[in-house]
């Protein structure tokens, strides 16, 4: 009986871990066939639209679950992930489709110093300690590096 209970519990907890871990899988645990890191550090508003178009096109090009995309923004490019950005809803929609958005903590700190307050980021953006470091990590994990 105890063995039976233990087996059921193990199976149950394994399922919990697997379902809960899907969203928290680190990049190197991804099961996607293709992985892309899209890099923006440009102030040019056209680049913002271009990088979002790139993400959309990549999602469209592959079957669901076959591609993983992370957008890393640092320097002036961090504006893309400001909460007030005109592309906010599109970014949130891409995030719902699985695209990850990383905001450089170093840039955020620098902008806070310039503005006198911390700019509010899009809630879907995750702050990483350093944007360029994050790119390096992802490339090492096999991500294809794209800078529009």
Partner 1 sequence: MEEKKRFKHTLISIACALGFVATEPALAVNWLMLQGTEDPAASSRAEVWGFIQADYQKDFSDPNTSGQYVPPKLLGPDLDAQSGFNISRARIGVRGTGFPIDSHINYFLLLEMGNSCITHCASENTIARMTDASITLNYIPGARIRGGLFKTPGAEEGLQAIHVFDYIDFSEPVNQLLLERFPNSAYTANLPPQTQAQLQGGVSLNGFTSPVGGFRDVGVQVFDAFDVGKDWEVSYAGMIGDGNGIEFKNSDGEYDKYLYLSAEKKFSGKGPKAEGLKFFAWGQWGSRQLDNTNDSVANLKKYDRDRAGLGVRYLKRPFRATAEYINANGMIFAGPDKPSFTFASTNGAEAKAAGWYVEGGWYIPKSNFELDARYDTVDLFKDRTDDHTFSKWTLGAQYHLNPKTRLTLNYEIRNYECTANTVPCTNANKNLDGVGNKVALQLTAIF
Residues lying near partner 1 in the complex (CB under 8 A): 43-45, 48, 76, 78-80, 82, 84-87, 111, 114-115, 119
* Strand ranges for the chain from DSSP E: 34-40, 67-73, 100-104, 125-128, 144-146
> What span, in angstroms and rounded, lies between the C-alpha atoms of 110 and 47?
22
How remote is the C-alpha of 120 from its chain's centroid?
17
> Could you tell me the smallest distance in angstroms from the CB atom of residue 111 to partner 1?
5
Closest CB to partner 1 among residues 76, 98: 76
Sign (positive or negative) of CA dihedral 103, 87, 146, 29: positive
> Could you tell me the smallest distance in angstroms from the CB atom of residue 133 to partner 1?
22
Closest CB to partner 1 among residues 27, 121: 121
Closest CB to partner 1 among residues 15, 43: 43
């Amino acid at each position: 009986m105890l063995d039976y209970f233990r087996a059921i519990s193990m199976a149950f907890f394994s399922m919990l871990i697997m379902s809960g871990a899907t969203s928290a899988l680190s990049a190197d645990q991804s099961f996607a066939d293709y992985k892309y890191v899209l890099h923006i550090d440009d102030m040019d508003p056209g680049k913002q639209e271009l990088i979002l178009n790139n993400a959309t096109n990549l999602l469209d090009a592959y079957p669901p679950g076959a591609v993983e995309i992370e957008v890393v923004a640092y320097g002036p490019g961090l504006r893309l992930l400001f909460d007030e950005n005109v592309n906010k809803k599109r970014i949130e929609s891409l995030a719902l489709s699985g695209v990850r958005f990383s905001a450089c903590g170093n840039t955020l700190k620098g902008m806070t110093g310039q503005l006198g307050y911390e700019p509010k980021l899009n809630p879907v953006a995750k702050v990483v300690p350093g944007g360029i470091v994050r790119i390096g990590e992802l490339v090492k994990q096999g991500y294809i590096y794209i800078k529009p």
